[in-house]
DNA sequence: GAAGTGCTTTTTGTATGCGAAAAGCTGTAT
DNA sequence: ATACAGCTTTTCGCATACAAAAAGCACTTC
């Protein structure tokens, strides 16, 4: 939006170094556009298969085509849209096969992530996990789907973070977001079990038991995968939460 | 089976369906630029840390800044350059930590890939693997480093392909290329052992022994990782064989 | 009436232009 | 001589302009 240059003055050397938190960078417009489009895709405003016309998006977002183009191309490499050579961008249509493949890869990555997390977790890490676990269980009580999804994502992201492998964490982030996109419409039924498994996982990490953490996470991921397959049969029209 | 979703117009009855090879698309310029820049980075023409000026690259490649920009941004998401907000692109400088993390992720992904490959390999798949194995051993004899690196990449890519998991294969492709970038300078010494392990891997896949294939690949990947660490400190490792 | 062909419209791909931010340099004052 | 301030240069980020390709439509023809 309007990023008015509100007198951001470069601090002189006289300022305390600790407080000199790198002032927010001009925030590249393409990033904002990327976020906006991703949000529109994830919440189904832009339907799978839909043709995305650069000019339309540009006008809708109030920017020129250039940032839109750049955002679309990054969306492609991240698997959200298909960019056909001289034809433009289409919202990616997830196939059953692809969903399963993503879930399989996720399972492998998350299992490894859990193992590493158990090896590296500090006391404060465990504290954070317990906090997230609690937040998830609270969301479970209120049956707020949106909060549940976020709590789930936060916990998994935290585990990935604690694994101390940035490359791994980044990959998990990408895969998880796409899995969530496919999975959200049917996320409700498994929530209870899912959080019980999470609790088990946190316990294993707290004990520093890598093998057990990996095993629990593997079971958790495969369970999710199974649930996806079981649920896939009934074509749900609109699930309201 | 998942048929083509929508509107793929059936070819005229008069045309042979098999021969209707989709004519090559105009080949977007950004793709050519991406490939060119990646090549320049991998072969060290563009050194790590170097500042890449759009205008210079554009002139050098004989195109305008636009395709260069788009290529640079994709290079960023793939981890080859760092795009600092208002400052431009810099060739990514791999850290020791990052290399190890990549090797770790690669190990996990490739292990899973090998397992799947053992489960899905057909007779012709095995034939292909044996051919690639033979090509590698020949390259080993001629001691042609470039050919060796390519043969190695081809074999691993083939295994990923045979796993029948496209998502996995794509990820392995990304990770492997970066690993190779870090690893190539020291690729020579381990070639012999490496190809012995490859032979073992192919055998396991041919037998359809998923556990063994996974175990062999895991050992192979961890060995590579170890070699990387040993080599990094230019100790007098004398002969590794 | 149906099929094929050529034209028009739409949309992408590439190039260029312009403003702004950051880095570098020079001159001056202490 | 050094350090700071202000200016200049460089380079990016975004907008716009133009050309080429593809899709859609209407017209013609058999």
Q: What is the per-residue pLDDT across A220-239, written as a single tens digit (0 to 9) for each?
A: 999 999 888 887 655 444 33
Termini Cα distance of chain B: 50
Which of B1, B105, B163, B169 should we substitute to test contact with A (largest number of A Cβ atoms within 10 Å)? Answer: B105
Host H or E run for residue B61: helix B54-61
**What pLDDT sits at residue A187?**
60
**What pLDDT sits at residue B143?**
84
Do the Cβ atoms of A132 and A158 come closer than 8 Å? yes
> Number of C-alpha atoms within 13 angstroms, CB side, residue A128?
15
Query: Which positions 132-191 on chain A have a beta carbon less than 7 angstroms from any atom of strand D?
Result: none
DSSP B68-92: HHHHHHHHHHTTSEEEETTTEEEE-
Residues recorded for chain A: 241
Instruction: Indicate yes or no: CB of B108 within 8 angstroms of CB of A112.
Output: yes
- Which chain A residues are closer than 8 Å to B102 by Cβ? 167
Give CA separation, A54 vs A65, A69, B66, in Å: 6, 7, 16
Is B82 near strand D, with its CB below 7 A from some atom of it? no
- Whether the pLDDT of residue B91 is over 70: the answer is yes
- Whether the pLDDT of residue B22 is over 50: the answer is no
Per-residue model confidence as pLDDT tens digits over B107-116: 999 999 999 9
Q: Which candidate from A77, A95, A105 shows the least CB-CB separation from B74?
A: A77
**Residues paired with B224 in a beta bridge:** none
Residue B98's nearest CA partner among B178, B7, B40 is: B178
- Whether the pLDDT of residue B97 is over 80: the answer is yes
Give CA separation, A13 vs A21, A32, A48, A240, B166, in Å: 13, 31, 52, 55, 52
Give mean pLDDT, residues B6-34.
Answer: 56
Is B86 near strand D, with its CB below 7 A from some atom of it? yes
Give mean pLDDT, residues B180-207.
Answer: 87
Per-residue model confidence as pLDDT tens digits over B135-174: 999 999 998 888 888 999 999 999 999 999 999 999 999 9
Closest nucleotide to A86 by C1' from CA: C12
User: Which segments of chain A have a pLDDT < 70?
Assistant: 1-26, 185-189, 232-241
Nearest CA in chain B to A116: B104
**What pLDDT sits at residue B233?**
57
**What pLDDT sits at residue B228?**
86
The rounded percent of chain B whose pLDDT value lies above 90 is 68
**What pLDDT sits at residue B187?**
60
Helices (H) and strands (E) in chain B, counts: 9, 3
Per-residue model confidence as pLDDT tens digits over B50-74: 999 999 999 999 999 999 999 999 9
CA-to-CA distance for A198 and A156, rounded, in angstroms?
9
Host H or E run for residue A81: strand A81-84
Is pLDDT larger for residue B18 or for residue B113?
A: B113
């Amino acid at each position: 939006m309007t990023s008015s240059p509100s007198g951001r003055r470069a601090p002189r050397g006289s300022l305390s170094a600790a407080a000199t938190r790198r002032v927010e960078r001009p925030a590249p417009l393409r990033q904002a556009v990327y976020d906006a489009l991703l949000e529109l895709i994830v919440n189904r405003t832009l339907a799978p298969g839909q043709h995305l016309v650069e000019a339309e998006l540009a006008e809708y977002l109030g920017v020129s085509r250039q940032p839109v183009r750049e955002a679309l191309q990054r969306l492609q490499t991240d698997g959200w849209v298909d960019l056909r050579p001289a034809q433009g961008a289409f919202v990616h249509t997830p196939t059953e096969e692809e969903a399963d493949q993503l879930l399989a890869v996720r399972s492998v990555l998350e299992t490894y992530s859990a193992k590493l997390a158990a090896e590296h977790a500090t006391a404060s890490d465990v504290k954070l996990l317990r906090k997230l676990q609690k937040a998830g269980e609270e969301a479970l009580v209120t049956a707020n789907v949106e909060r549940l999804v976020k709590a789930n994502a936060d916990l998994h992201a935290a585990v990935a973070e604690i694994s101390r492998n940035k490359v791994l964490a980044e990959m998990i982030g990408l895969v998880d977001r796409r899995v969530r996109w496919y999975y959200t419409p049917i996320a409700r039924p498994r929530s209870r079990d899912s959080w019980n498994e999470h609790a088990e996982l946190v316990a294993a990490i707290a004990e520093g038991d890598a093998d057990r953490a990996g095993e629990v996470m593997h079971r958790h991921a495969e369970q999710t995968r199974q649930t996806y397959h079981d649920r896939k049969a009934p074509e749900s029209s609109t699930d309201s939460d």
